[in-house]
């Protein structure tokens, strides 16, 4: 009988799980065990870490603010550069337009004396003499051709006889008392004026009336 029990005990020991017989199985901690608090050094390190994170956040915020301010400055500079470029293009276009409008101004200044000489020639020839008729017609045709050609280039002739005196367009050579017209009226034109596309090339030289 003792031998049989011994065999049964051996079978029970063989069937028993290893986990129950493992010598290294950790034992549960007692219910009343206390949790260790961090040391002063550990607390100091944790506080320094928090301060470092706060400083890093502030530095990042300051960097973002600086970048935003720089972006505003760059946008303003870009807008200014764009405006300056547009102004430069506008000025260049205006210069081109002016050059196109007033390209013949120098030529006009050289041609105006020719027109003056033709008008003087007409005024000096005796129109009553039949022998001068052909000459007068030739000079008149030449004069008309000159004036018509100038008109094609937006040249305006200033012949202000009987008009009010305009100091921006007329140059008064003398004043003559006259009670038949209003004061500052152009009585006579010594020399006609010319204007090119609204720009005065030469003022009209005139005689102006004044009160008697």
User: What was the pLDDT predicted at 191?
Assistant: 93
Q: Which two tokens stand for residue 19?
A: 């986990």
Q: Which two tokens stand for residue 188?
A: 């006579």
User: What was the pLDDT predicted at 162?
Assistant: 92
User: What was the pLDDT predicted at 1?
Assistant: 47
User: What was the pLDDT predicted at 20?
Assistant: 45
Question: Tell me: the pLDDT tens digits for 153-210?
Answer: 889 999 999 999 999 999 999 999 988 889 999 999 999 999 999 899 999 999 999 9
User: What was the pLDDT predicted at 25?
Assistant: 53
Q: Which two tokens stand for residue 139?
A: 């000079």
Residue numbers of the chain with a pLDDT score lower than 50:
1-4, 11, 15, 17-24, 32
Q: Angle between the 133-152 and 105-124 helix axes, to the nearest 10 degrees?
A: 160
First to last CA, the chain: 173
């Amino acid at each position: 009988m003792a031998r049989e029990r011994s065999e049964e005990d051996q079978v029970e020991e063989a069937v028993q799980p290893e986990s129950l017989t493992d010598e290294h199985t950790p034992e549960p901690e007692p219910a009343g065990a206390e949790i260790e608090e961090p040391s002063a050094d550990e607390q100091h390190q944790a506080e320094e870490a928090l301060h470092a994170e706060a400083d890093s956040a502030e530095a990042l915020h300051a960097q973002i603010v600086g970048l935003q301010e720089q972006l505003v400055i760059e946008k303003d500079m870009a807008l200014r550069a764009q405006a300056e470029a547009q102004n430069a293009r506008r000025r260049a276009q205006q210069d081109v337009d002016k050059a196109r409008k007033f390209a013949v101004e120098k030529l006009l200044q050289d041609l105006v004396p020719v027109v003056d000489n033709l008008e003087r020639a007409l005024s000096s020839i005796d129109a009553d003499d039949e022998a001068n008729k052909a000459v007068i017609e030739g000079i008149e045709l030449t004069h008309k051709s000159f004036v018509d050609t100038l008109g094609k280039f937006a040249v305006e002739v200033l012949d202000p006889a009987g008009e009010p005196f305009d100091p921006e367009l007329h140059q008064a050579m003398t004043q003559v008392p006259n009670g038949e017209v209003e004061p500052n009226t152009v009585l006579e034109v010594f020399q006609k004026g010319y204007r090119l596309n609204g720009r005065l090339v030469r003022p009209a030289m005139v005689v102006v009336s004044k009160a008697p």
